[in-house]
A = this chain, B = another copy of it.
Amino acid sequence: MAPKKLQIAAAGLGRMGKRHALNFLDRTPRAELVAAFSPDPEELQWAEQHLKPYGVTLYDNYDKMIEQKGLDAVVIGTATSVHAEEAIKAIEKNLHVLCEKPLSTDVEVCKDVVAVAKKHPHLTFMCGFSRRFDASYRDAYKKVEEGLIGRPTILRSQTCDKHDPSGFFVDYAAWSGGVFVDMTVHDIDLTLWFFGDEIVPKSISAHGVVAVQPGLKKYNDYDNAVGIVEFYGGKIAYYYNSRMMAHGQEDVTEVIGTEGKVSINLNPQQNLVNVYTPAGITREIPPHYYGRFEYAFVAEANEFTAACLDGTRLPNKPRNAVKAVQIGAWLQEALVSGKQIHFDETGRRVEKASL
């Protein structure tokens, strides 16, 4: 008898939602995509062509979809504003949930979702921080864990998008939570991974500029920002995010320890080709994050599936998804307010004067 496959539904068929749906359809051997939902007629039309022929039932109503008989799990790739509600509903229908990051741009809402998940410990619940599934980050982590760099002390990490003149980033800023919550949250998640998720922030600074997307100002957001998080225990992470890269996606991380360093993607590249012309030697780089992280998303789908079916351990814990958003929100506050933020050793916010 054929082994049981995970019956999964995809909620949301936008840019990333489509990719999740196709990854579960085609590149996750132990899962079977059986349902898909979108509130958007255009996205449903796409699904008519690309999903329905392969046995996927389509819905324009999320609630109905999660009632489909035999369903085991949902992957949520809708707009961030509905992540939390949909995740909670799915959990309460006894479904495993893989939810795109962030659970919410509101930390309290994130906590609510995780609290609900915690009450259903037999269910797999994961917020998808894809870099934890990337082969390069994993190799770097393994090396750090083996002691190759001594005690990790400084982490530099940047998430930098190719400049998009379409205005997309401006509209997006209306509800993204700001650049530190939307972009740097990935780098913060890496920090929790490499520094340990028990670390406690001591102080936070951030500065930003609006260089190429003046429309961001009305949303109090920035297109280039730099932030520093100092942690108790003698560790510092510093971050850069940008929507202004001329050359493509450039997501770089360095972890510097007392006895060595690892870098990940310091020299981004599209592939293994170099071109030699009178201009010099040139290599191209991926235009978008999916060009960099495609196989991480595939690994995520497969490992989530294995966790649902076999109970295997996943690389990220739900509460880190909250903590990363929390730190991102503090960075964003420091950025917008122009004020440093301080914490005591228990993680409680304090005025600097009172320390």
**B-binding residues in A (CB < 8 A):** 1-3, 25-27, 29, 53-55, 135-136, 139-140, 143, 148-151, 153-154, 156, 203, 205-212, 224, 226, 228, 230, 234-236, 238, 240, 242, 244-248, 250, 256-285, 338-340, 342, 352, 355
- A263 to B275: give the CA distance in the assembly, Å: 7
B224 and A209: CB pair below 8 A? no
Which of B244, B256, B271 interacts with A153 by CB under 8 Å?
Answer: B244
Interface of A is mostly: mixed
Which of B153, B240, B285 interacts with A154 by CB under 8 Å?
Answer: B240
A209-B153, A242-B154 known; A262+B268 contact, CB < 8 A:
no
Question: Given A149-B275, A207-B236, A266-B266, list of 4 further CB < 8 A pairs?
Answer: A154-B242, A205-B207, A208-B236, A263-B273
Kindly provide the distance from the CB of A127 to the nearest chain B CB, expressed in whole angstroms.
24
- A259 to B246: give the CA distance in the assembly, Å: 5
Task: Kindly list chain B residues whose C-beta atoms are within 8 Å of the C-beta of A272.
Answer: 136, 264-268
Copies in the complex: 4
Task: Kindly list chain B residues whose C-beta atoms are within 8 Å of the C-beta of A246.
Answer: 149-150, 257, 259-261, 276-278
- A342 to B228: give the CA distance in the assembly, Å: 17
A224 and B277: CB pair below 8 A? no
- A3 to B50: give the CA distance in the assembly, Å: 11
A240-B154, A266-B266, A281-B285 known; A271+B205 contact, CB < 8 A:
no
Which of B26, B262, B265 interacts with A29 by CB under 8 Å?
Answer: B26
Task: Kindly list chain B residues whose C-beta atoms are within 8 Å of the C-beta of A263.
Answer: 273-274, 276
- A278 to B27: give the CA distance in the assembly, Å: 32
- A259 to B53: give the CA distance in the assembly, Å: 44
